[in-house]
Amino acid sequence: MNVTASAPAKVILTGEHFVVYGEPAVVMAIDCYVHVTVSERLDRAVHIVSDLGISGLYAGNKYSPEKRGPQAENVLRPVNIAAKTVLDLLEKKTGLEIKVDSQIPVAAGLGSSGALAVATVAAVGKLFGTDFSRDELIKLSFDSEKFVHFEPSGIDQTISSSGGVMVYRKGKRPNPIEVKSEIPIVIGNTGVPRKTGDLVNAVRKRLNDFPDVLEPIVHAAGDLSTRAVKALLDGNLKRLGELMSINHGLLSAIGVSNEPLDRLVYAARKAGALGAKLTGAGGGGCMIALSTLEDREKIADAIREAGGATIIAKKTNAGVQVWVNE
Ligand code: PMV
């Protein structure tokens, strides 16, 4: 028997980084997915094959690379951590064969590692007859996310397991919001690699160096997210776009935008985006432009001309899904 789970990527519409300090963020699942397929092995090893052309075998904590050498292990270890968490919880003394197929660019601000962790936990659970609740999925995928992000707020696993749009506040129950309108998004990927944990640490340092200047900005960002929720509920995309652009300015102030991101943000605005901002940790990775349905291609062309790779995406209400193949 083998089992597949799929989990969606996310975009943060407003409030990344500020969410680490207790402010609300607005996050949306998008129709771009990772698929994880698992089956049982008779030995106790975990063998992982990723469509990034990386594969390797874990026997306990010992890693033996197959394709792409030991440094590529960074991509596979979080999968092993998530799988092991479930094996230990369910007291299964068996091995696993895991195959990862992902449409989500890695380390680019779209929550690829959160989606991968959630899908792995859901698939391994189902393989042994357990359907985890949303809360259990979030909790069980945390150690895997910690390996990638050091101190994650939990926003990525939460949205990836539930889908839809939600207001997320660290340590609080997420608040799903029912958004009736389409939220057409054009994603621009700078292709510049970065690590979320490094950026979170850099923001913390800047906040420590300039508390009087930056703390009001943190609170302003929280207020901005509350206004963005109202705009979403009212279906007022023009206002949401304006708030997203202001949010980009606040993210620049805390030091997480850079020239490649700004170039794509300005190209999108010039091409008629309702608003544009970096999304996720910044420092590279992706930006998002809010668009009307008609303007998506025009905005995507402008982003490509400015050097970005593009994904045209929209909201998905589907969170993690899991099914038995045979
Ligand atoms: O870039 P991503 O997808 O890892 O998003 C990070 C979001 C932050 O707010 C910067 C960090 C967090 O854990 O919430």
Per-residue confidence of the chain (326 residues) as pLDDT tens digits? 999 999 999 999 999 999 999 999 999 999 999 999 999 999 999 999 999 999 999 998 789 999 887 777 888 999 999 999 999 999 999 999 999 999 999 889 999 999 999 999 999 999 999 999 999 999 999 888 877 776 777 889 999 999 999 999 988 988 999 998 889 999 999 999 998 889 999 999 999 999 999 999 999 999 999 999 999 999 999 999 999 999 999 999 999 999 999 999 999 999 999 999 999 999 999 999 999 999 999 999 999 999 999 999 999 999 999 999 97
240 residue type, one letter:
L
**Among 156, 223, 234, 301, which one carries the catalytic annotation?**
156
Q: What is the DSSP-derived secondary structure letter of residue 315?
A: B
Asked if 228 and 237 count as a contact pair (C-beta separation under 8 A), the reply is: no
Complete DSSP assignment for 74-100 = HHHHHHHHHHHHHHHHTT---EEEEEE
Which residues are near ligand 1 (CB < 6 Å)?
16-17, 19-20, 109, 111, 149, 152-153, 155-156, 196, 200, 280-281
Complete DSSP assignment for 232-286 = HHHT-HHHHHHHHHHHHHHHHHTT---HHHHHHHHHHHHTT-SEEEE-TT-SSSE
**Nearest atom within ligand 1 for CA of residue 203:** 10
**Between β-strands 165-168 and 25-41, what pairing exists: parallel, antiparallel or unpaired?**
antiparallel
243 residue type, one letter:
L
Place of tokens 């407003």: 14
Asked if 37 and 3 count as a contact pair (C-beta separation under 8 A), the reply is: yes
SS3 49: strand
Residue 60 alpha carbon to ligand 1 centre in Å: 30
Enter the tokens of residue 87: 């094996």
Q: Which residues pair with 283 in a beta bridge?
A: none
Residue 279 alpha carbon to ligand 1 centre in Å: 9
What is the largest distance, in Å, between two alpha-carbon atoms of the chain?
60
Residue 230 exposure: Cα atoms within 13 Å on the Cβ side: 7
Q: Terminus-to-terminus CA distance in the chain, angstroms?
A: 5
Q: What is the pLDDT of residue 179?
A: 93
Q: What is the pLDDT of residue 150?
A: 66
The CB density around residue 326, as the number of other CB atoms within 10 Å, is 6
Q: Which residue, 89, 114, 98, is CA-closest to 9?
A: 114
Burial 52-82 (b: 16+ CB within 10 A, else e): eebbbbbeeeebeeeebeeebbebbbbbbbb
CA distance 158 to 174: 8
Q: Which residues pair with 64 in a beta bridge?
A: 57
Enter the tokens of residue 173: 């129950």
CA distance 313 to 154: 23
Residue 142 alpha carbon to ligand 1 centre in Å: 14
